[in-house]
Amino acid sequence: MPEILESIAQQASTAFLACREAIESGTLIERESSTDKEFPFQNWFKGRLEADFDEPGRNTYPDIRLVHDSLGFEVKGLAYPGRDEDYDCNSQIPHGVFRGRQIVYVFGRYPKEPDENSYAVYDLVLFHGSFLNAQNDYVHRNTSVLGMGSYGDIRLRDRKMYVAPTPFGLLDGVEGQITLVLPEDWPVGANLAEVGRITRVEADQVMTGYAFDLETNRLTATFAPNPTAGNEHKFVAYRREGQETGPAVSLKST
């Protein structure tokens, strides 16, 4: 396992440094037209990868899966200025590990209304998915129930959607920077300098279910004690060596 983790950490670090180099050298996001909004940033990130990967498809999770390492990248582009405190994750709740694969998220911000079809990455945070959610056993399923409507033959579909915080909503010191956040036990190679340590603490309760009242349009949740309440998950923030003079990275106060 240590050798596998070392290889995965190296791939994540290499991707991060390639993004840093591309941003510094002025490698721009390219879009086909002003209506092309879904994939330009993902395509920009794909161009930074040296490792072989499976070509992304629609509604796949994670977006990019490496062929020779158990690592996947979930890529999220955010228009700036705009909504960047949280984001919609429509297909899966955030994971640190999904089906045996380590998940690393890539969040990049770029101009909201660029004048051209080529535009720069403003800032970027690449981080392990457990920073958003340390629970890996939840299985996402969309289900339905028959019986709605006056004749009782309409199915009510339960299509789960989630809203999770972004690293820009959780962290101070990442705006205008290129930052890597990994679990503290992940080995990283040379050319990276520590710029902060972050601890996330598990909540006292976990959600176990929810109900929706069709008459009042009220959504209610049920909770149970979290068996791992109080567990601390520790992360280290890095920048490229020589860039550690920027702002320190810390968890925002609530």
Rg (the chain; Cα; Å)? 20
Percentage, residues of the chain above pLDDT 70: 98
User: Rounded mean pLDDT of 80-96?
Assistant: 92
Of 4-8, 192-196, 199-203, 226-230, least confident by mean pLDDT is 4-8
21 — phi, psi (to 5°)? -65, -40
Of 62-66, 92-96, 185-189, 195-199, least confident by mean pLDDT is 185-189
Q: Which two tokens stand for residue 93?
A: 């709740």
CB 190, CB 241: distance < 8 Å: yes
What is the distance, to the nearest Å, from the Cα of residue 23 to the centroid of all Cα atoms in its chain? 19
**Extended strands (E) in the chain:** 29-30, 53-54, 64-66, 71-80, 86-89, 97-98, 101-111, 118-119, 123-128, 143-148, 154-158, 162-165, 171-172, 178-183, 192-201, 205-213, 218-225, 232-240, 250-251
Q: What is the pLDDT of residue 57?
A: 75
Statement: residue 1 has pLDDT above 60: no
CB 15, CB 108: distance < 8 Å: no
Residue at 248: amino acid letter: A
Q: What is the pLDDT of residue 103?
A: 97
More confidently predicted of 90 and 87: 87
Of 37-46, 96-105, 199-208, least confident by mean pLDDT is 37-46
CB 193, CB 244: distance < 8 Å: yes
Which residues have C-beta within 8 Å of that of residue 243, sequence separation ≥ 6?
20, 178, 193
Count of CB atoms situated within 10 Å of the CB of 78: 19
The pTM (predicted TM-score) of the whole model is: 0.94
Q: Which two tokens stand for residue 186?
A: 């992940």
- Mean pLDDT, all residues of the chain: 93
Statement: residue 131 has pLDDT above 80: yes
- Model pLDDT for residues 15-57, shown as the tens digit of each residue: 999 999 999 999 999 998 877 777 999 999 999 998 889 887 7
Statement: residue 128 has pLDDT above 60: yes
Cα–Cα distance measured from residue 44 to residue 166, given in angstroms and rounded to the nearest whole number? 20
Statement: residue 192 has pLDDT above 70: yes
Cα–Cα distance measured from residue 145 to residue 158, given in angstroms and rounded to the nearest whole number? 8
Which residues have C-beta within 8 Å of that of residue 61, sequence separation ≥ 6?
72, 74, 91, 92, 98
Count of CB atoms situated within 10 Å of the CB of 38: 11
Cα–Cα distance measured from residue 148 to residue 145, given in angstroms and rounded to the nearest whole number? 8
Confidence of residue 244 (pLDDT cuts 50, 70, 90): low
Cα–Cα distance measured from residue 32 to residue 43, given in angstroms and rounded to the nearest whole number? 12
User: Rounded mean pLDDT of 69-97?
Assistant: 94
- Model pLDDT for residues 64-80, shown as the tens digit of each residue: 999 999 999 999 999 99
Q: What is the pLDDT of residue 235?
A: 98
Which residues have C-beta within 8 Å of that of residue 55, sequence separation ≥ 6?
none
Q: What is the pLDDT of residue 107?
A: 98
Q: What is the pLDDT of residue 5?
A: 87
- Model pLDDT for residues 141-188, shown as the tens digit of each residue: 999 999 999 999 999 999 999 999 999 999 999 999 999 999 999 998
- Taking CA atoms, 145 is separated from 11, 91, 152, 157, 171, in Å, by 44, 20, 10, 7, 40
